[in-house]
Amino acid sequence: MDNTDVEPNDKDPAVQEQVRKSVLTLGKQQPDRVLAMCQDYLLKHPKLVVIHRVVILQTIELIVSTRIEDINASRIKSIISLASDEMTRSKEVIPDWQQAASNILVAVGNKYINDIMEEILSKFQPGVLPHFFVVQTLANLSDSNVYGMVPFLNAILGTMLPMLGIAKQDNMKWVFSSALCHFSDSILEYLANLDKAPDPTCEKGHILQ
C-alpha cells in the first residue's frame, strides 16, 4: 500500500472513495492479503489523521463481514488486537474512529465470540471505569450475537453493576443505561428461544442468578 501512486491520505474525497472501493474489491478476492496490508499501514502510520484511519477500519470491517469464513485464525486474532487498540487508544471519545474499530469487533464476534470476549473483558475490570466504547461494543455484541453473548452476561453484569455508582459523566451514565437495555432484550430473546440455544446448560436459572 505504501508504494501506490495514490495513498489513503489523499485529500480528494473522490480519490479516497475510489481507493476504498478498489481495496474492498481486492479484499473480497484476497481477504488475508488485504487485511494484512491494511493492518500494516495503520501500524506504520500511528499519526495518520482520524478520517483516513476510519476509511481503512471501515474497509477491514466490510472484508471481515463478507469473508470471515475465509480468513485464517491467526489473522483474526491480530485484527481483534488491532481493532481493540484503535478503539481505546484515546481516552477521549472520538466517535467516528472508535465506532469504526468497535464495528470490526462486533463483526468478528459473530463467529469468534470467545476470542472477542477475551480481549474486551481484559479492558473491563472490576472497580475500573471502562472506556465508553468498550461498554458500547458489549451492548452491540449482545444484539448481533444473542446466543454467543448471553452466557457471558452474568459475569459482565457482576462487574458492571458496581460501576454504576462511579460513573459520573453523562456519557458514561448513558452508555451503561443503554447497555443494560440491550442486555435485557438479549436475555428475553434468548429465553424465548431456548430450544435454539447452542449452550443448553445456560438456562433461565443460570442467567438470572
What are the DSSP calls for 134-178, one per residue? HHHHHHHHHHH-HHHHHHHHHHHHHHHGGGGGG--SHHHHHHHHH
* 117 found inside a domain: no
Specify the pLDDT at position 98: 98
Residues 85 and 175 in one domain: no
In-domain check, residue 74: yes
Structural domain contains residue 15: yes
- Please indicate, yes or no, if residue 155 is contained in any of the structural domains: yes
What value does the mean pLDDT take over residues 138-156? 96
- Give the tens place of pLDDT for each residue, 28-51: 889 999 999 999 999 999 999 999
Chain-wide mean pLDDT for the chain?
89
Length of the chain: 209
Are 3 and 96 members of one domain? Answer: yes
Tell me the C-alpha to C-alpha distance, in Å, between residue 7 and each of 51, 78, 98, 125. Answer: 13, 23, 22, 39
- Around 41, how many Cα atoms within 13 Å sit in the side-chain half-sphere? 24
Look at residue 55 and tell me whether its pLDDT is greater than 50. yes
- To the nearest 10 degrees (0 to 180), the angle between helices 113-121 and 73-88 is 30
The four Cα atoms 140, 49, 26, 31 give a dihedral, to 10 degrees, of: -50
One domain for residues 146 and 70: no
Residue 208 inside a domain? The answer is yes
pLDDT score of 5 more than 50: no
Task: Count helices and strands (H / E) in the chain.
Answer: 10, 0
Say if 50 falls within a structural domain.
yes
What span, in angstroms and rounded, lies between the C-alpha atoms of 163 and 165?
5
> Domain boundary at 112, 146, 177, which?
112
Residues 19 and 96 in one domain: yes
Same domain, 107 and 143: no
Residue 36 belongs to some domain of the structure: yes
Residues 3 and 101 in one domain: yes
As a whole number, mean pLDDT of residues 50-57 equals 93
Other beta carbons within 10 angstroms of residue 109's beta carbon come to 25
Residues 79 and 104 in one domain: yes
* Domains: count for the chain: 2
156: cell is 459482565
Is 118 a member of any domain?
Answer: no
* 51 lies in the same domain as 130: no
Are 35 and 108 within one domain? Answer: yes
Last residue of a domain, one of 45, 77, 112: 112
CA 149 → CA 83, 90, 141, 168, 205, distances in Å?
A: 19, 26, 7, 27, 16
> Could you tell me if 133 and 103 lie in one domain?
no
For residue 95 the three cell numbers come to 466517535
The answer to whether residues 128 and 108 belong to one domain is no
Instruction: Report the alpha-carbon distance of residue 129 to residue 172 in Å, rounded.
Output: 9
The confidence score (pLDDT) of residue 198 equals 74
- The answer to whether residues 106 and 6 belong to one domain is yes
Indicate if the pLDDT at residue 4 is higher than 80.
no
Q: Which domain holds residue 74?
A: 1-112
Average pLDDT over residues 133-155: 96
